[in-house]
Structure 1
Amino acid sequence: MKINHLTAAEENLMKLFWKLDSFYLKDAMDRHPEPKPHQNTVSTYLKILTEKGFLSTEKEGRIFKYTVIIPFAEYRKFLLKELCHHFFDNSGKEVLEVLLDENLISKNDFADYLDLKIELKPAKNKQPDYEFANEILKTKKK
């Protein structure tokens, strides 16, 4: 699934839509914080977000029900990859250095994360295959 960039206004509305997951225009208007945008504005953005592939529509009588297609976690990964690609030459190490230097993640938190991710698995001892050696060493039958 290809993810497109969102404008700031689209992103703000999507934050609300991600919380709702499946909704009608009226639900979005009711849940939008003050100051509420005009209903036509929200309706226009719903059309744009549907065209961009973030929402799907299902007609129910005379109204549409909207459902989020691209989850928030996927969009967040997309943004992080774009940031890494455009500003850090695809270097995760450089991203990590900035996160640690700017105290956006503490060294202790990072160390704890690594401790959780590293699993020590017992080594699997594979029995050697002696088939070839047995063939050579096999005594000849008379």
Structure 2
Amino acid sequence: MESNSTKIAKIATKMAICNRNEEDELKRFYNEQGIKVTAANMGGNINSSISKILESALVAAKRNGLIREEHLHEGAVIGATRDAIIQISTRANGLNVGGKIGIARGGEHISVCIFLSIGLLHLDEVVIGIGHRSLPV
């Protein structure tokens, strides 16, 4: 049987890899199941974009009602986002990236997934990172 943390991590990943039309459909679908989701586009040089990635994840989570505006909730989103950044940073170090941040919250579980395409000459590399935290409901 799948744990709730695994389920929420998979949903965050779906949000990070979907296109805009799918994003709206997934929001409706998961909302009916009591799971809140959101996504935000991102891009630029990874080294100079880290603070923007953190800010984008936090703003998206607040705007879409995944978290409350309080220290514990904000810290959970920042921590999960930092974990995801750490996982992608060595592959993307110094390079331009473009992609999406997907966030899902179900009960006490919140996951942040970052899916990126890394521009390297005429080749495109892809990388994915994910972080998870538990929050009181």
Q: Report the TM-score range of the alignment, normalised by the length of the smaller protein.
A: under 0.3
Greater strand content: 2
Q: TM-score, normalised by structure 1?
A: 0.23
Q: Which has the larger radius of gyration?
A: 1
Q: TM-score, normalised by structure 2?
A: 0.24
Which of the pair has the greater relative contact order for Cα pairs under 8 Å at 6+ separation? 2
